[in-house]
Amino acid sequence: MPARLIESLATTEPLAEVFSDGSVLQSMLDFEVALARAEARVGIVPKSAAERISAVAHASEFDIPALSRSMFRAGTAAIPVVKALTEKVRARDPDAAGWVHWGATSQDVADTALVLLLKRAQPILASDLERLEKALTKLSEQHKATVMLGRTLMQSAPPITFGLKAAGWLGALHRNGQRLAAGFAEALVLQFGGASGTLASLGDKGIMVAGALAEELRLSCPEAPWHTHRDRLANLVCCCGVLTGSLGKMARDISLLMQSEVAEVTEPGGEGRGGSSTMPHKRNPIACSLTLTAAQRVPGLVASFLSAMVQEHERAVGSWQSEWPVVASVIQSTGSAASSMAEVAEGLAVDSVRMRQNIENTKGLIFAERVMMSLAAELGRDVAHKLVEDTVHKSVAQNKHLSTLLMESPEVRSHLDESLLAQLEVPEQYLGSAEAFREALVTCSAPKKRGQ
């Protein structure tokens, strides 16, 4: 389904569907159905009652606006849903209605429903991250010999390769993808504890019901209920925060490389993508913009979740109730960023000619380090630094290539081989371990084969 207008820049259509009203309600109903079935399996609830509950638990048959109003009055999402479900069951079988929500509490419904939504969101995020990693691997391989300016503190620095830059993005995103997968694995657990987290209302069958319920929902069954222990969800939220930061770093780099004065890469375009409402010549970094928007939003949301972790005793007042919109926003923002950058990486246009031209436009100044290190062996580092620094100042003042002025300096020529000076401004000869680092990043980020 399309996202609401106010959320259109903060989610994707698949994730908007996951967190839609109908999907949220269905997740709560799924909990109730699974609970009845689990309790029927262990002999608590009549099988016929479980069947009646299952038959009416369809979100499309409920008045969602009315439920929303009731939720605000009740202070919890579960109570109005349980009441409405009970009435629907009663209309068909009054006896079965008494078994709805047997032994559970409202937070069991809310927490497990949220976990079920996260379970649906996980493969959506994983798919976009997989697309992104494949595209970055391809970019890195294609451009392993494409030289470009290194940039430190926003200033020109010794050359690197675009392949190394892409591999750097890849490595960070691969690490974050692994953390995210582990975070989901830990967070996708059942919540079922009853009133005080002891399942006392189920007597000696509480643990049996919990195990059966987890099987019904295909969730892990934790050691104990976790009503006021939010560390699993907090870890997942934090993983999303770090991942979105890495996506934002990639978006920041690409948007800077797209500046008119730099013009080394270009986002993929297409209908309705990248234009300006007033300037026909513009090709704006829209996908990067959406990613940076997410990267700025998510840290505050992460902080909101963490601040709600300090919860009272066995059931909290106000803290866990704050989590639904926070978690939904974190997941959707992360998904928006991942999807946007996957689109960028798959269609990024790289101008290798412009990259080399920008190197040449520095008139050799980015190779001052190379000269200084070569002279330092003979003159000492401080003396060499001063000599090269003075030559750099002359280069800037006279608008001459650094190599030209170095060739004119008797002191430099007396200590440096003329062949080095002649090759000073060849970027391929001052890349150090760039390719080794690139290969290591790509290798570490490669999908693992079975058995490895």
> 91-143: per-residue pLDDT in tens?
999 999 999 999 999 999 999 999 999 999 999 999 999 999 999 999 999 99
pLDDT at 422: 77
Q: 290 in helix, strand or coil?
A: helix
pLDDT at 451: 44
Task: Please tell me the distance from the alpha carbon of residue 111 to that of residue 324, in angstroms, as a whole number.
Answer: 9
pLDDT in tens, 343-367: 999 999 999 999 999 999 999 999 8
> What average pLDDT does this structure show over 278-287?
66
pLDDT in tens, 418-434: 777 778 889 999 999 99
Is there a contact between 36 and 45 (Cβ–Cβ < 8 Å)? yes
With a pLDDT cut of 70, the percent of the chain lying above it is: 96
Quick check: 319 pLDDT over 90? no
pLDDT at 163: 98
In this structure, the number of other CB atoms found within 10 A of the CB of residue 319 comes to: 17
Which residue among 48, 276, 307, 433 is the active-site one?
Answer: 276
CA angle 325, 327, 328 (to 5 degrees): 60
Q: Which residue has 């008139």 as its token pair? A: 363
pLDDT at 276: 43
pLDDT at 74: 84
Q: Which two tokens stand for residue 400?
A: 């001459």
pLDDT at 77: 86
Per DSSP, which regions of 106-225 are E strands? 147-152, 155-161
pLDDT at 449: 55
Distances (CA, A) of 57 to 52, 204, 311, 414: 9, 28, 32, 88
pLDDT at 55: 96
Topology of domain 1-104+195-221, CATH: Fumarase C; Chain B, domain 1 (1.10.275)
* Matching CATH number, 365-424, of 3.40.50.2000, 1.10.443.10, 1.10.40.30, 1.20.1740.10: 1.10.40.30
C-alpha neighbours within 13 Å on the C-beta side of residue 103: 26
pLDDT-based confidence at residue 6 (cuts at 50, 70, 90)? confident
Residues 380-402 as b/e (b if ≥16 CB within 10 A, e otherwise) read: eeeebbebbeebbeebeeeeebb
Task: Please tell me the distance from the alpha carbon of residue 385 to that of residue 371, in angstroms, as a whole number.
Answer: 9
Quick check: 277 pLDDT over 50? no
CATH number for the domain running over 106-189+226-360+440-452: 1.20.200.10
Please enumerate in sequence order all residues whose Cβ is within 8 A of that of 315, keeping only pairs 6 or more positions apart, or say none: 105, 107, 196, 197, 227, 228
> What average pLDDT does this structure show over 281-297?
87
Q: State the chain's mean pLDDT as an integer.
A: 92
pLDDT in tens, 167-183: 999 999 999 999 999 99
- Our answer to whether residue 433 is catalytic in this structure is no
- Our answer to whether residue 230 is catalytic in this structure is no
Is there a contact between 282 and 276 (Cβ–Cβ < 8 Å)? yes
In this structure, the number of other CB atoms found within 10 A of the CB of residue 97 comes to: 18
> What average pLDDT does this structure show over 59-64?
93
Quick check: 27 pLDDT over 60? yes
> What average pLDDT does this structure show over 273-290?
66
pLDDT at 282: 47
With a pLDDT cut of 90, the percent of the chain lying above it is: 75
Distances (CA, A) of 372 to 377, 395, 431: 9, 15, 16
Domain limits of the chain? 1-104+195-221, 106-189+226-360+440-452, 365-424
pLDDT-based confidence at residue 273 (cuts at 50, 70, 90)? low
pLDDT in tens, 240-249: 999 999 999 9
pLDDT-based confidence at residue 270 (cuts at 50, 70, 90)? low
pLDDT at 197: 94
Quick check: 274 pLDDT over 60? no
Q: Which residue has 């990067």 as its token pair? A: 288
Between 283 and 218, whose confidence is greater?
218
pLDDT in tens, 382-415: 988 998 899 899 989 999 888 888 888 888 888 8
Compute φ and ψ for 220, nearest 5 degrees.
-75, 150
Query: What is the dihedral angle through the alpha carbons of 154, 158, 159, 164, rounded to the nearest 10 degrees?
Result: -70
> What average pLDDT does this structure show over 200-218?
96
**Interaxial angle between packed helices 64-74 and 21-41, expressed in degrees from 0 to 180 and rounded to the nearest 10:** 80
pLDDT-based confidence at residue 144 (cuts at 50, 70, 90)? very high
In this structure, the number of other CB atoms found within 10 A of the CB of residue 48 comes to: 13
Which residue among 175, 283, 315, 370 is the active-site one?
Answer: 315
> What average pLDDT does this structure show over 13-33?
95
Is there a contact between 263 and 357 (Cβ–Cβ < 8 Å)? no
Write the DSSP symbol of residue 222: P
Length of the chain: 452
> What average pLDDT does this structure show over 279-304?
86
CA angle 239, 245, 247 (to 5 degrees): 105
pLDDT at 265: 96
Q: Which residue has 């030559």 as its token pair? A: 391
